[in-house]
Structures are given as structure tokens and as C-alpha cells.
């Protein structure tokens, strides 16, 4: 049987945490639940402590001096303290479905598999949450990749242009062997305040052998409400492009440090970084920046990168 550590960062989630925890305790494979309170200002820590008293598999962790350090630092703290063979992630306002590990139970019988990922669906909390989610992701609430894949093809599919595979999969539908994270010294980038999950997943897909699990239906539910971090980008495209440029700059720096890293992948990261950096600018600065960078990077004139760089800010 699989032995799983579940890492749940908690920040001001008093409305949701009990449901999230109940959804993970339904699985006999879950032998450790790490609730990392990230300096909550509500009753989250009190609720987490109460849950741990009733369930011995639950452990409550905090940062030094109960600091608020962000979701990446909280997940990393969970990784450091996880003791089981497999690591999974869940956000405190989301929850798992009963089919969460149906694919994993079979796929992990193959010893070469390091990780499995599936699809997630959405649940709306309030009309604003529903409106913002649909505006961001469309009417189809299923977030998934478009076809099955495994191994290095996942890495190359994630960063192809145009992307027919899907840009990333959700952390809350990922199951990974802890030894694979340790072997490759993989942690989540704490310098990125948003899009850190996408950056981590791309690096993960390069260093480990992943395989798609259930991708035609959700194995977890992401709740859509006004406080979702991704919604903060919805009405501010300049902010989106700024974070996107930081994401691809981080990947470019990482790729340059790898031995024999594919040149085409480095080029992709560079062009995505530059086009995003241009798009984050406004007015005449945007066009001057575009002209200067094109002189040294003429591939920015390719339709897809030119269009991305010159998109109008909202």
C-alpha cells in the first residue's frame, strides 16, 4: 500500500480547512497530514490544533515566530518534514474527490515512475468567484492536459509553441516520491509570489519521470472565490505579464545551469521572458523596449511572440 504525506499550507482558511482535511482522511493511504499555518490572522491555527488532537496522523507546523512567509515556503517546510514515501499537496480551500488515487495505485507499480498527475475541476463560491473564474479559464471547469504523456515528453509538451498539450497541471493533483525530490534537490521557488507552481512543475518534469493519471475527470476540486491568488491577476494584465516574465527568467537561469540542456528549450524560455517583460510595460516604453530587444533577438518578430509582447494592457 502507498504511504502518503499530504502537505496543506493554511492561511486564513477557517471556513474551508475542515472540509479539506476530511477529504484527505478518507484515504487509508494517507498516513501523515502536515498542516502548515502561514501566520493566519483568523482561527485557522486553532482549528488545525483541534484537528491534530483528534487525528494522530495530523501534525501542525508553523514558521519561526509564526511568520507569514507565503505558500512556497510553507510547501517547502512540508517537504522538509514529510516522512512518508509519497508526497502530495492540497490547498486549504480545496478538497480531494474519492477517485484521487485510483490511477496512482496501479501506475506506481512501475518502479521507474517518480510522479503521477491528474485533472482538477472547480466549485464556485459566490457569483463573483464564478464570474472571475469563467473569465479567466472559460466555461469548461475541467483543468487538464489534452492527451496522455510520460517521461521527458511531458517536459517538452509543457514548453512547446504553440502549446497543444496544456501549459501545466495542478499541484493538488500531483503525487510524487519524496526520494525523487531529494535526489534532484527540488524545492518550490520562494522568490516567486505567483506562478511558482508552474515553474516548479516544469523543472519537476525535466528532472523526474512523470506520467499522466486520470485526465478526463477531476480528482480534486479547486474552489473559486474572490480571495484566490490567481484572481488577483484577472483584471490586471500588466501584473500578469510581470509575474510571467519573472517565471520565465527563473526558468532561463535554471536551464543555463543544467548540463547539456536543450538549446531550443533555453531559447523558448528567453523569448517568453523577453516578450512578457515587454508586455508588462506601458505606453512608449513598451514599443521602445520591443524595438531594442528585437535588434538583438529577431525571433521576437515571430507572430506568437510579437503578439504576446504587444498585447494591450487592461
What is the rounded radius of gyration, in angstroms, for the C-alpha atoms of the chain? 20
pLDDT mean over 202-220 = 98
Q: Per-residue confidence at 270, pLDDT binned at 50, 70, 90? A: very high
pLDDT at res. 137:
67
Q: Is residue 269 part of a domain?
A: yes
pLDDT at res. 224:
81
Considering the domain architecture, whether residues 140 and 184 belong to the same structural domain is answered as yes
Q: Is residue 314 part of a domain?
A: no
Q: Is the pLDDT of residue 136 over 90?
A: no
pLDDT at res. 312:
65
For residue 56, give the C-alpha cell: 494522530
pLDDT mean over 236-259 = 93
Q: Is the pLDDT of residue 235 over 80?
A: no
**Counts for the chain of helices (H) and strands (E), in that order:** 12, 10
Q: Is residue 8 part of a domain?
A: yes
pLDDT mean over 113-134 = 84
Average pLDDT, the chain: 92
Say if CB 94 and CB 221 are below 8 A apart. Answer: yes
Q: Give the pLDDT confidence of 2-24 residue by residue, as tens digits.
A: 999 999 999 999 999 999 999 99
pLDDT at res. 310:
87
pLDDT at res. 91:
97
Q: Is the pLDDT of residue 189 over 50?
A: yes
Considering the domain architecture, whether residues 210 and 291 belong to the same structural domain is answered as no
Q: Measure the CA angle with vertex 98, ends 188 and 153; round to 5°.
A: 45
Considering the domain architecture, whether residues 154 and 170 belong to the same structural domain is answered as yes
With a CB cutoff of 8 Å and minimum separation 6, the contacts of 80 are none
pLDDT at res. 173:
98
3-state secondary structure 69-87: CCHHHHHHHHHHHCCCCEE
pLDDT mean over 218-222 = 97
| Lowest-pLDDT choice from 193-202, 228-237, 260-269 | 228-237
Considering the domain architecture, whether residues 59 and 175 belong to the same structural domain is answered as yes
Considering the domain architecture, whether residues 187 and 200 belong to the same structural domain is answered as yes
Query: Residues of the chain with pLDDT > 90: what percent?
Result: 81
Considering the domain architecture, whether residues 180 and 205 belong to the same structural domain is answered as yes
Q: Select from 208, 233, 258 the last residue of a domain.
A: 233
Considering the domain architecture, whether residues 88 and 39 belong to the same structural domain is answered as yes
Considering the domain architecture, whether residues 31 and 145 belong to the same structural domain is answered as yes
Domain count, the chain: 2
Considering the domain architecture, whether residues 264 and 200 belong to the same structural domain is answered as no
Q: Is residue 257 part of a domain?
A: yes
Q: Select from 184, 215, 233 the last residue of a domain.
A: 233
Q: Is the pLDDT of residue 183 over 80?
A: yes
**CATH code for the domain of 132:** 3.90.550.10
Q: Per-residue confidence at 314, pLDDT binned at 50, 70, 90? A: very low
Query: Residues of the chain with pLDDT > 70: what percent?
Result: 93
Q: Give the pLDDT confidence of 47-77 residue by residue, as tens digits.
A: 999 999 999 999 999 999 999 999 999 999 9
Domain extent for 92? 4-233
Amino acid at each position: 500500500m502507498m504511504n502518503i504525506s499530504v502537505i496543506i499550507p493554511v492561511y486564513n482558511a477557517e471556513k474551508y480547512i475542515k472540509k479539506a482535511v476530511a477529504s484527505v482522511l478518507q484515504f487509508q493511504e494517507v498516513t501523515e497530514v502536515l498542516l502548515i499555518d502561514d501566520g493566519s490572522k483568523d482561527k485557522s491555527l486553532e482549528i488545525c490544533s483541534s484537528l491534530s488532537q483528534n487525528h494522530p496522523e495530523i501534525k501542525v507546523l508553523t514558521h519561526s515566530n509564526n511568520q507569514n512567509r507565503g505558500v512556497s515556503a510553507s510547501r517547502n517546510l512540508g517537504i522538509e518534514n514529510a516522512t512518508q514515501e509519497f508526497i502530495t499537496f492540497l490547498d486549504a480551500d480545496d478538497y480531494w474527490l474519492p477517485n484521487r488515487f485510483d490511477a496512482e495505485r496501479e501506475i506506481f507499480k512501475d518502479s521507474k515512475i517518480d510522479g503521477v498527475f491528474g485533472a482538477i475541476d472547480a466549485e464556485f463560491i459566490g457569483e463573483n468567484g464564478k464570474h472571475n473564474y469563467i473569465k479567466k479559464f472559460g466555461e469548461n471547469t475541467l483543468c487538464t492536459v489534452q492527451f496522455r504523456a510520460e517521461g521527458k515528453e511531458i517536459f517538452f509538451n509543457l514548453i512547446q509553441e504553440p502549446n497543444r498539450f496544456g501549459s501545466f497541471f495542478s499541484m493538488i493533483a500531483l503525487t510524487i516520491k519524496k526520494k525523487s525530490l531529494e535526489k534532484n534537490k527540488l524545492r518550490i521557488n520562494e522568490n516567486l509570489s505567483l506562478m511558482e507552481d508552474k515553474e516548479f512543475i516544469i523543472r519537476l518534469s525535466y528532472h523526474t519521470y512523470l506520467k499522466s493519471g486520470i485526465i478526463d475527470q477531476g480528482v480534486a476540486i479547486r474552489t473559486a472565490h474572490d480571495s484566490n491568488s490567481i484572481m488577483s491577476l484577472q483584471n490586471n494584465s500588466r501584473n500578469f505579464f510581470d509575474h510571467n516574465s519573472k517565471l520565465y527568467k527563473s526558468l532561463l537561469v535554471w536551464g543555463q545551469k543544467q548540463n547539456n540542456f536543450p538549446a531550443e528549450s533555453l531559447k523558448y524560455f528567453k523569448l517568453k521572458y523577453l516578450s512578457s517583460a515587454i508586455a508588462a510595460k506601458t505606453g512608449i516604453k513598451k514599443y521602445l523596449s520591443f524595438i531594442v530587444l528585437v535588434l538583438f533577438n529577431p525571433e521576437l518578430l515571430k507572430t506568437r511572440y510579437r503578439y504576446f509582447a504587444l498585447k494591450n494592457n487592461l
